[in-house]
Structures are given as structure tokens and as C-alpha cells.
Structure 1
Amino acid sequence: MKKSIGLVAHDDKKELLAQWCANHREKLAEFDLYATGTTGAHIVEETELSITLLKSGPLGGDAQLGAMIVENKLDGLIFFIDALTAMPHDVDVKALIRLATLYDVPFACNRSTANAVLGLF
């Protein structure tokens, strides 16, 4: 069975995540990929990877990824976080991070940890 990875990024980090995905396109193509709507659209445009697009983060995409974690349907989470900007849906972001931690899902919040998480699989 293919492993699955969730992809999400705050607005100022979407292009950085898309570039990271382009750099790791061959490896990422081996996974079932899920991404929040806007982030996923950026990644698809940059890489042409096959990605299941969820709702935008503030409209429930973060919650959808969280539900996938709880249902044991997500093997890793890569979430490029903008640590310098307050987010209106910060509660949703914290809930997603809490679930990844609680369910022991490998979680990356920047390029260095994303490289490490991808190397686990």
C-alpha cells in the first residue's frame, strides 16, 4: 500500500513548498498526496504531481488533514509555517499540529525537517 503525505503551507510559504516539492518530485510521486486547496494548486502548477485537493485551510482543509491523521490515513505531514505572521485560523493550525503529535505522525514545518521526514519513507 502506498504511503500518504499531507501538504500545506501558510500564504507566504506556499511558493517555498511548491519549490521544495519540485526538487523532490520523483520521490513525492511515489506517495498518495493530499493538500489544502490553495497550497495544492500551487504545487500542481509547479510540479504537475497528482494531488488530492482538500478545502482551503481556513475553510476546513486543516481539519480534513486532521481527520485523516485520526483515521490513520496520513503517514506524514509537511506544513511550511510562517512563524512571523499571526493567522486568523491559528486554532485550526494548532489542532492539526496537536493531532500530528498525539498520533505520532512525522511532521515537518520547514525545508530541513521536510527533508528528514521524506527520508523516513
Structure 2
Amino acid sequence: MANTTLRFGLAANRLHHETYGAAIFEWLECSAAGIRQLGIELHTVGRTYDAIQRSDLLEAYPGLIRYPYGREGGLMKLVARVTEGRDGASPFDGAIYLIDPVDPSSIFPEALALKRQCITHGRPFVSTLMGAIEWIEVERLSTGLDPNPALQPMFDFTGQTLAMIAHDALKDQMVQFASVHFDLLSRFAMRVGTGTTSSRLNELAWSRGWPGEQPWVQPYLSGPLGGDAQIAELVLERRCQRVIFFEDPHVARQHEADIQLLERAVRVVTDKASCIASPAVAHKWATAMARLA
């Protein structure tokens, strides 16, 4: 086991844990070995914990820790632990919350706050099956372990599309991220972006020697004019597998509905798409992915 214990909050909407074969079980079938290998603590909300126990996919695993049911405040407790540890423990390293986009509880205040606090503190907020499988591999690679060969198709970027979006206050950080990881991001078959972000990323690429007549990022409309919705359609059509969306959690956003639409699209195709929402998490992901070369 790793010397430093990773600690994640874990929850899943009813659709994703109600029957065997649901997303939580698909995740564990792919990732249970990695979870055990790293000794990850999973602080798990009531019904999700109960479902995992019935499945035996983490049988006798001491790192599976039960929290109250959601209606008893279990998800609220995860929010608190993402922001600050308790009894001398470190804060959680992130949260995995497998979201059913048509479940009303997915927009309860505690669900929205969990995502916001993860972004604020630079920790992963994982809401899709593909993202959950991917993130355990990111943690494995970050400790120097060999890649899981069974996941190679998931990380074949040559056949995938990456969306790159950033709110105004974070556009500089998106350009800096792209500059640091330019070679990795260039492996994707295509990159798409909205408005000003795509223009600035293309300027960066051309300064790096990318062919001047060819955009590095295919530009879509700005977010307020419908760019987020255009990219959401790509996601729904399985033509965009990864979204890196640097969200500013500290400002009110006039086109909030469009942002939520894109997030919802990613969750609709839960086994085919993932989303990263903060610079710190994106850098960790890209650093781990570079080790696959």
C-alpha cells in the first residue's frame, strides 16, 4: 500500500447503484485492484456503501468507510471533509459522485456545494463512470506504478476529441496549462474550444510552430452565445470524449444554464466522457497521462 493514504468521498445516485451492472459496479470491476493497491479510503454515503457491500467487489476491504444516508446528511458531511480534515486528518483528496442527470438530488445544494468546494480547493470532482476509472489510473501513475494495460483503449488519444474551455478569470491559466502540456494535448485527433479561449490557444500553437493555416483548436461560439451547447452536442454524439473546463467558482455566471447543459451532457454518456474543472486537477491528469507515452 502507498505510504500516504488517499481519501475520497464517494456517492452515487440511485440509477448508478440500484442494480448489478450499474455504474458503481462497472467502476469497481475495473478499479478495485487499483483501489486496494493504493490503499485508498472511500468515505461512502449510505446507500452507495450498502450496494458495494452487497456486491462483494471490495470484500473485507478496510478502506470502505460508511457515512450516513444522503437524507441524513451524508453528502453534506462529504462537503465539509473536502474543505477541511477532522480530528487531525487531512482533507479529502477529492470526491467521486456518479451522477444521474435526471435524478433531482443531483442539483440539491449539497451536490452543487460538493463540486464547488472541490474546484475551489483544486481537488478532483469526478461525476462519470469513465472519469472514475480514469482517476484511479491517474493516482496509480502518479505513484510510479506501471499502466494498467486493460485501460489502453481509454487513453488512445489519437482517436479522441478534447474540449478546452475557460472562464475569463482562468483563460491565462488555460493558456499556461496548454503551453506546459502542449505535446500531450497535441496527441488528440482534434481539440475544440469556445470563443476567446480557442483564439488564444491557437495563437499559442502557432507560436510553437503549429502550421499557420491550420487551427490547433477548432473554434466554436463563445459560451454565452451557445458554444457550450454546441460542444454538449458533440459529447452526446460520442464525438468528444474529454472536457477540460476551467470554472471560476467565485463569480455569478449569466450563462449558467449553458454550463450546466454541458456538464449534464457529459453525465448522460457517463461511460464515454469525463470532465476536469480546475487547473490543479488538469495538471495532475496531464502529468500522469504523459507517463503513458
Give the TM-score normalised by the residue count of structure 2.
0.39
Please tell me the residue identity of whatever aligns with 1:15.
D
- C-alpha separation in 2, matches of 1:69 and 1:39: 19
After TM superposition, give the deviation of residue 116 of structure 1 in Å: 4.9
After TM superposition, give the deviation of residue 98 of structure 1 in Å: 1.4
Contact 2:192 2:219 in 1 (8 A): yes
After TM superposition, give the deviation of residue 3 of structure 1 in Å: 1.2
Please tell me the residue identity of whatever aligns with 1:36.
T
> Is 2:269 aligned against 1:103?
yes
Please tell me the residue identity of whatever aligns with 1:18.
V
After TM superposition, give the deviation of residue 40 of structure 1 in Å: 0.5
- Find 1:23's aligned residue among 158, 180, 200: 180
1:6 maps to which residue?
163
Please tell me the residue identity of whatever aligns with 1:79.
F
1:71 maps to which residue?
237
After TM superposition, give the deviation of residue 39 of structure 1 in Å: 0.8
Contact 2:242 2:275 in 1 (8 A): yes
Please tell me the residue identity of whatever aligns with 2:227.
G
2:201 maps to which residue?
43
Contact 1:18 1:47 in 2 (8 A): no
- C-alpha separation in 1, matches of 2:252 and 2:265: 21
Please tell me the residue identity of whatever aligns with 2:194.
T
After TM superposition, give the deviation of residue 117 of structure 1 in Å: 4.6
- C-alpha separation in 2, matches of 1:58 and 1:82: 15
Contact 1:19 1:46 in 2 (8 A): no
Please tell me the residue identity of whatever aligns with 2:184.
K
Please tell me the residue identity of whatever aligns with 1:21.
A
Q: Secondary structure at the match of 2:201?
A: helix
- C-alpha separation in 2, matches of 1:112 and 1:15: 14
Q: Secondary structure at the match of 1:33?
A: strand
- C-alpha separation in 1, matches of 2:159 and 2:182: 16
After TM superposition, give the deviation of residue 43 of structure 1 in Å: 1.3
Dislocated runs of 4+, deviation >6 Å: none
Give aligned pairs, total: 121
Q: Secondary structure at the match of 1:77?
A: strand
> Is 2:199 aligned against 1:53?
no
Structure number with bigger Rg = 2
- C-alpha separation in 2, matches of 1:112 and 1:19: 12
Contact 1:66 1:99 in 2 (8 A): yes
Give the TM-score normalised by the residue count of structure 1.
0.91
- C-alpha separation in 2, matches of 1:115 and 1:71: 27
- C-alpha separation in 2, matches of 1:42 and 1:27: 18
Q: Deviations over 1:1-46 (max 9, x none)?
A: 5211001111111111111011100011111100012111111122
2:283 maps to which residue?
115
Please tell me the residue identity of whatever aligns with 2:196.
T
| Alpha-carbon spacing, 1:9–1:71, altered in 2? closer, same or farther (3 Å) | same
CA RMSD after TM alignment? 1.8
